[in-house]
Amino acid sequence: MTDTTLEGKGRTLWGDVWDQYKTHKGALVGTAVFLFILFAVFLGPYIYKVDPQYLNIRVKNQGPSMAHLLGTDQLGRDMLAQVLHGGRVSMAVGVIAMAISLLVGTMVGLLAGYFKKLDGPLMRLTDLFLALPLLPLLLVIIMLFRDTLRGMFGPETGIFILIVSIIGATSWMHTARIVRGDVLAQKEREFVLAAKSIGTPDRRVILRHILPNVLSPIMVSATLGVANAIITESALSFLGLGFPSDFPTWGRLLFDGANYMTLTPARVVWPGLAISLTVLSVNFIGDGLRDALDPRIRGR
Protein backbone atom coordinates (compact mmCIF):
# COMPACT_ATOMS: atom_id res chain seq x y z
CA MET A 1 0.00 0.00 0.00
CA THR A 2 1.50 3.31 -1.08
CA ASP A 3 1.29 6.51 0.87
CA THR A 4 -0.64 9.06 -1.17
CA THR A 5 -0.68 11.84 1.38
CA LEU A 6 2.21 13.65 -0.28
CA GLU A 7 0.97 13.30 -3.85
CA GLY A 8 0.49 16.65 -5.54
CA LYS A 9 2.43 18.47 -2.85
CA GLY A 10 5.67 19.15 -4.68
CA ARG A 11 8.05 21.54 -2.97
CA THR A 12 9.20 24.67 -4.76
CA LEU A 13 11.96 27.15 -4.01
CA TRP A 14 9.58 30.02 -3.31
CA GLY A 15 7.39 27.75 -1.22
CA ASP A 16 10.39 26.93 0.96
CA VAL A 17 11.28 30.64 1.10
CA TRP A 18 7.76 31.49 2.28
CA ASP A 19 7.80 28.72 4.87
CA GLN A 20 11.05 30.08 6.31
CA TYR A 21 9.81 33.68 6.11
CA LYS A 22 6.72 32.79 8.14
CA THR A 23 8.91 31.60 11.01
CA HIS A 24 10.52 35.06 11.35
CA LYS A 25 8.16 36.86 13.75
CA GLY A 26 9.85 40.22 13.28
CA ALA A 27 9.43 39.97 9.50
CA LEU A 28 5.73 39.15 9.85
CA VAL A 29 5.16 42.09 12.18
CA GLY A 30 7.17 44.33 9.87
CA THR A 31 5.14 43.19 6.88
CA ALA A 32 1.87 43.89 8.68
CA VAL A 33 3.00 47.36 9.79
CA PHE A 34 4.35 48.23 6.34
CA LEU A 35 1.14 47.10 4.61
CA PHE A 36 -0.89 49.14 7.10
CA ILE A 37 1.21 52.23 6.38
CA LEU A 38 0.83 51.69 2.62
CA PHE A 39 -2.92 51.33 3.03
CA ALA A 40 -3.08 54.47 5.18
CA VAL A 41 -1.07 56.74 2.89
CA PHE A 42 -2.54 55.60 -0.42
CA LEU A 43 -6.15 54.87 0.53
CA GLY A 44 -6.46 56.96 3.70
CA PRO A 45 -7.00 60.29 1.88
CA TYR A 46 -10.02 58.79 0.13
CA ILE A 47 -11.49 57.90 3.52
CA TYR A 48 -10.36 60.95 5.51
CA LYS A 49 -11.44 63.55 2.96
CA VAL A 50 -9.88 66.66 4.47
CA ASP A 51 -7.89 69.03 2.27
CA PRO A 52 -4.32 69.10 3.67
CA GLN A 53 -3.86 72.65 2.32
CA TYR A 54 -7.08 74.12 3.74
CA LEU A 55 -6.19 77.10 5.97
CA ASN A 56 -8.16 78.04 9.07
CA ILE A 57 -6.19 80.45 11.25
CA ARG A 58 -8.86 80.36 13.96
CA VAL A 59 -7.87 76.78 14.88
CA LYS A 60 -4.09 77.07 14.49
CA ASN A 61 -1.68 75.17 16.77
CA GLN A 62 -4.39 73.03 18.34
CA GLY A 63 -3.87 69.62 19.87
CA PRO A 64 -5.72 66.44 18.92
CA SER A 65 -9.50 66.77 18.97
CA MET A 66 -12.56 65.22 17.36
CA ALA A 67 -12.45 67.81 14.59
CA HIS A 68 -8.72 67.36 13.97
CA LEU A 69 -7.57 63.93 15.10
CA LEU A 70 -3.86 64.81 15.15
CA GLY A 71 -4.23 68.54 15.75
CA THR A 72 -3.39 71.46 13.46
CA ASP A 73 -0.30 73.41 12.42
CA GLN A 74 0.50 77.12 12.68
CA LEU A 75 -1.82 77.88 9.73
CA GLY A 76 -4.71 75.74 10.91
CA ARG A 77 -4.10 72.90 8.46
CA ASP A 78 -5.15 69.41 9.54
CA MET A 79 -2.10 67.36 10.59
CA LEU A 80 -3.61 63.94 9.87
CA ALA A 81 -4.41 64.95 6.29
CA GLN A 82 -0.87 66.29 5.86
CA VAL A 83 0.72 63.13 7.30
CA LEU A 84 -1.34 60.92 4.96
CA HIS A 85 -0.57 62.98 1.86
CA GLY A 86 3.05 63.43 2.88
CA GLY A 87 3.44 59.69 3.19
CA ARG A 88 2.57 59.25 -0.47
CA VAL A 89 5.48 61.44 -1.52
CA SER A 90 7.92 59.88 0.95
CA MET A 91 6.96 56.35 -0.14
CA ALA A 92 7.20 57.28 -3.83
CA VAL A 93 10.65 58.78 -3.27
CA GLY A 94 11.78 55.67 -1.39
CA VAL A 95 10.56 53.18 -4.00
CA ILE A 96 11.72 55.05 -7.12
CA ALA A 97 15.11 56.01 -5.66
CA MET A 98 15.57 52.39 -4.56
CA ALA A 99 14.76 51.19 -8.09
CA ILE A 100 17.37 53.54 -9.58
CA SER A 101 20.08 52.55 -7.11
CA LEU A 102 19.24 48.87 -7.53
CA LEU A 103 19.43 49.09 -11.32
CA VAL A 104 22.78 50.90 -11.28
CA GLY A 105 24.26 48.76 -8.51
CA THR A 106 23.18 45.47 -10.10
CA MET A 107 24.53 46.47 -13.51
CA VAL A 108 27.88 47.60 -12.08
CA GLY A 109 28.16 44.48 -9.91
CA LEU A 110 27.35 42.11 -12.78
CA LEU A 111 29.83 43.73 -15.16
CA ALA A 112 32.59 44.00 -12.55
CA GLY A 113 32.18 40.42 -11.37
CA TYR A 114 31.88 38.80 -14.79
CA PHE A 115 34.37 40.77 -16.90
CA LYS A 116 37.84 40.82 -15.38
CA LYS A 117 38.92 43.84 -17.45
CA LEU A 118 36.07 45.94 -16.06
CA ASP A 119 36.50 44.81 -12.47
CA GLY A 120 39.30 47.22 -11.56
CA PRO A 121 37.86 50.43 -13.09
CA LEU A 122 34.31 49.81 -11.86
CA MET A 123 35.40 48.94 -8.34
CA ARG A 124 37.65 51.99 -8.15
CA LEU A 125 34.67 54.07 -9.27
CA THR A 126 32.62 52.43 -6.53
CA ASP A 127 35.31 53.19 -3.96
CA LEU A 128 35.36 56.81 -5.15
CA PHE A 129 31.62 57.18 -4.58
CA LEU A 130 31.92 55.48 -1.19
CA ALA A 131 34.63 57.96 -0.18
CA LEU A 132 32.50 61.00 -1.04
CA PRO A 133 30.74 62.78 1.86
CA LEU A 134 27.20 62.12 0.70
CA LEU A 135 25.22 64.71 2.64
CA PRO A 136 27.40 67.70 1.61
CA LEU A 137 27.39 66.35 -1.95
CA LEU A 138 23.59 66.15 -1.94
CA LEU A 139 23.33 69.69 -0.62
CA VAL A 140 25.64 71.04 -3.33
CA ILE A 141 23.79 69.22 -6.13
CA ILE A 142 20.43 70.49 -4.89
CA MET A 143 21.68 74.07 -4.68
CA LEU A 144 23.11 73.86 -8.22
CA PHE A 145 20.20 72.24 -10.04
CA ARG A 146 17.12 73.07 -7.96
CA ASP A 147 16.13 76.28 -9.73
CA THR A 148 16.84 74.83 -13.19
CA LEU A 149 14.58 71.82 -12.70
CA ARG A 150 11.91 73.92 -11.04
CA GLY A 151 11.78 76.09 -14.14
CA MET A 152 11.64 73.07 -16.46
CA PHE A 153 9.14 70.83 -14.66
CA GLY A 154 7.47 73.00 -12.01
CA PRO A 155 8.29 73.44 -8.30
CA GLU A 156 6.94 70.05 -7.13
CA THR A 157 7.82 67.79 -10.07
CA GLY A 158 11.25 69.37 -10.53
CA ILE A 159 12.24 68.83 -6.90
CA PHE A 160 10.83 65.29 -6.97
CA ILE A 161 12.93 64.39 -10.03
CA LEU A 162 16.02 66.00 -8.52
CA ILE A 163 15.76 64.31 -5.12
CA VAL A 164 14.91 60.88 -6.52
CA SER A 165 17.75 61.08 -9.05
CA ILE A 166 20.47 62.16 -6.63
CA ILE A 167 19.44 59.68 -3.93
CA GLY A 168 19.39 56.84 -6.45
CA ALA A 169 22.69 57.92 -8.01
CA THR A 170 24.51 58.09 -4.67
CA SER A 171 23.25 54.90 -2.98
CA TRP A 172 24.10 52.08 -5.41
CA MET A 173 27.60 51.27 -4.17
CA HIS A 174 26.80 48.68 -1.49
CA THR A 175 24.51 46.78 -3.88
CA ALA A 176 27.27 46.76 -6.50
CA ARG A 177 29.83 45.29 -4.09
CA ILE A 178 27.43 42.60 -2.85
CA VAL A 179 26.37 41.59 -6.37
CA ARG A 180 30.01 41.53 -7.57
CA GLY A 181 30.98 39.14 -4.78
CA ASP A 182 28.15 36.76 -5.64
CA VAL A 183 28.90 36.92 -9.37
CA LEU A 184 32.56 36.03 -8.74
CA ALA A 185 31.38 32.89 -6.97
CA GLN A 186 28.63 32.01 -9.45
CA LYS A 187 30.71 32.32 -12.61
CA GLU A 188 32.95 29.45 -11.44
CA ARG A 189 30.00 27.10 -10.97
CA GLU A 190 29.64 24.07 -13.23
CA PHE A 191 26.47 25.19 -15.01
CA VAL A 192 28.08 28.52 -15.99
CA LEU A 193 31.24 26.80 -17.24
CA ALA A 194 29.08 24.36 -19.20
CA ALA A 195 27.16 27.23 -20.80
CA LYS A 196 30.42 28.91 -21.81
CA SER A 197 31.82 25.67 -23.21
CA ILE A 198 29.00 25.34 -25.75
CA GLY A 199 29.50 28.90 -26.98
CA THR A 200 26.70 30.72 -25.13
CA PRO A 201 27.15 34.49 -25.52
CA ASP A 202 28.23 36.40 -22.41
CA ARG A 203 25.03 38.46 -22.38
CA ARG A 204 22.92 35.30 -22.30
CA VAL A 205 25.08 33.73 -19.61
CA ILE A 206 24.71 36.80 -17.41
CA LEU A 207 20.96 37.20 -17.88
CA ARG A 208 19.87 33.55 -17.82
CA HIS A 209 22.39 31.82 -15.58
CA ILE A 210 24.05 34.32 -13.24
CA LEU A 211 21.45 37.03 -12.59
CA PRO A 212 18.72 34.62 -11.35
CA ASN A 213 21.20 33.17 -8.85
CA VAL A 214 22.13 36.54 -7.33
CA LEU A 215 18.55 37.76 -6.87
CA SER A 216 18.49 37.06 -3.13
CA PRO A 217 21.02 39.76 -2.12
CA ILE A 218 19.41 42.11 -4.65
CA MET A 219 16.00 41.66 -3.00
CA VAL A 220 17.45 42.29 0.45
CA SER A 221 19.22 45.41 -0.84
CA ALA A 222 15.92 46.57 -2.31
CA THR A 223 14.14 46.51 1.04
CA LEU A 224 16.98 48.31 2.80
CA GLY A 225 17.25 50.81 -0.07
CA VAL A 226 13.67 51.96 0.50
CA ALA A 227 14.43 52.74 4.14
CA ASN A 228 17.66 54.58 3.29
CA ALA A 229 15.95 56.66 0.62
CA ILE A 230 13.13 57.69 2.98
CA ILE A 231 15.64 58.70 5.66
CA THR A 232 17.73 60.69 3.16
CA GLU A 233 14.70 62.51 1.78
CA SER A 234 13.52 63.28 5.31
CA ALA A 235 16.95 64.66 6.21
CA LEU A 236 17.01 66.90 3.14
CA SER A 237 13.48 68.14 3.79
CA PHE A 238 14.31 68.72 7.47
CA LEU A 239 17.22 70.91 6.36
CA GLY A 240 14.82 72.95 4.23
CA LEU A 241 16.31 71.78 0.92
CA GLY A 242 13.61 69.33 -0.08
CA PHE A 243 10.08 69.91 -1.25
CA PRO A 244 8.32 73.28 -0.86
CA SER A 245 6.26 73.95 2.26
CA ASP A 246 2.94 73.55 0.43
CA PHE A 247 3.98 70.08 -0.76
CA PRO A 248 4.20 68.11 2.49
CA THR A 249 6.43 65.12 3.10
CA TRP A 250 7.21 63.55 6.45
CA GLY A 251 10.60 65.26 6.53
CA ARG A 252 9.06 68.60 5.58
CA LEU A 253 6.45 68.25 8.34
CA LEU A 254 9.28 67.67 10.83
CA PHE A 255 11.08 70.77 9.56
CA ASP A 256 7.95 72.93 9.79
CA GLY A 257 7.07 71.63 13.25
CA ALA A 258 10.55 71.99 14.78
CA ASN A 259 9.94 75.67 15.67
CA TYR A 260 6.69 74.80 17.46
CA MET A 261 7.86 71.85 19.55
CA THR A 262 7.28 73.64 22.85
CA LEU A 263 3.81 74.78 21.79
CA THR A 264 2.53 71.66 20.00
CA PRO A 265 5.04 68.80 20.38
CA ALA A 266 2.66 66.40 18.65
CA ARG A 267 3.50 68.10 15.34
CA VAL A 268 6.91 66.42 15.27
CA VAL A 269 5.79 63.21 16.98
CA TRP A 270 3.43 62.01 14.25
CA PRO A 271 5.65 62.42 11.16
CA GLY A 272 8.65 61.20 13.18
CA LEU A 273 6.68 58.14 14.27
CA ALA A 274 5.62 57.46 10.68
CA ILE A 275 9.23 57.59 9.48
CA SER A 276 10.44 55.39 12.34
CA LEU A 277 7.76 52.74 11.87
CA THR A 278 8.29 52.63 8.12
CA VAL A 279 12.06 52.26 8.39
CA LEU A 280 11.82 49.66 11.18
CA SER A 281 9.23 47.60 9.33
CA VAL A 282 11.26 47.63 6.11
CA ASN A 283 14.40 46.60 8.01
CA PHE A 284 12.55 43.69 9.61
CA ILE A 285 11.27 42.62 6.19
CA GLY A 286 14.84 42.73 4.90
CA ASP A 287 16.04 40.57 7.80
CA GLY A 288 13.30 38.04 7.12
CA LEU A 289 14.08 37.90 3.40
CA ARG A 290 17.80 37.50 4.09
CA ASP A 291 17.16 34.50 6.35
CA ALA A 292 14.53 33.00 4.06
CA LEU A 293 16.70 33.26 0.95
CA ASP A 294 19.81 31.85 2.63
CA PRO A 295 19.91 28.09 1.83
CA ARG A 296 22.12 27.49 4.88
CA ILE A 297 19.29 28.70 7.15
CA ARG A 298 16.21 27.69 5.14
CA GLY A 299 14.72 24.45 6.35
CA ARG A 300 16.06 24.52 9.89
pLDDT given at position 244: 72
Instruction: Give domain status of residue 4, yes or no.
Output: no
* pTM listed for this prediction: 0.81
Share of the chain above pLDDT 90, in %: 11
Instruction: Give domain status of residue 6, yes or no.
Output: no
The pLDDT tens digits of the residues spanning 180-219 come to 988 988 888 888 888 888 888 888 888 888 888 888 788 8
Residue among 177, 169, 276 at smallest CA distance from 221:
177
Residue among 77, 19, 18, 27 at smallest CA distance from 50:
77
The pLDDT tens digits of the residues spanning 54-73 come to 888 888 888 788 878 888 88
For residue 149, CA distances in Å to 88, 103, 105 come to: 21, 23, 25
Q: Number of folded domains in the chain?
A: 1
Instruction: Give domain status of residue 2, yes or no.
Output: no
Instruction: Give domain status of residue 276, yes or no.
Output: yes
Say which CATH number the domain at 234 has.
1.10.3720.10
Residue among 223, 274, 265 at smallest CA distance from 26:
223
Instruction: Give domain status of residue 300, yes or no.
Output: no
CA pseudo-torsion sign 243, 248, 254, 257: positive
Instruction: Give domain status of residue 17, yes or no.
Output: yes
Instruction: Give domain status of residue 270, yes or no.
Output: yes
The residue range of the domain holding 19 is 13-293
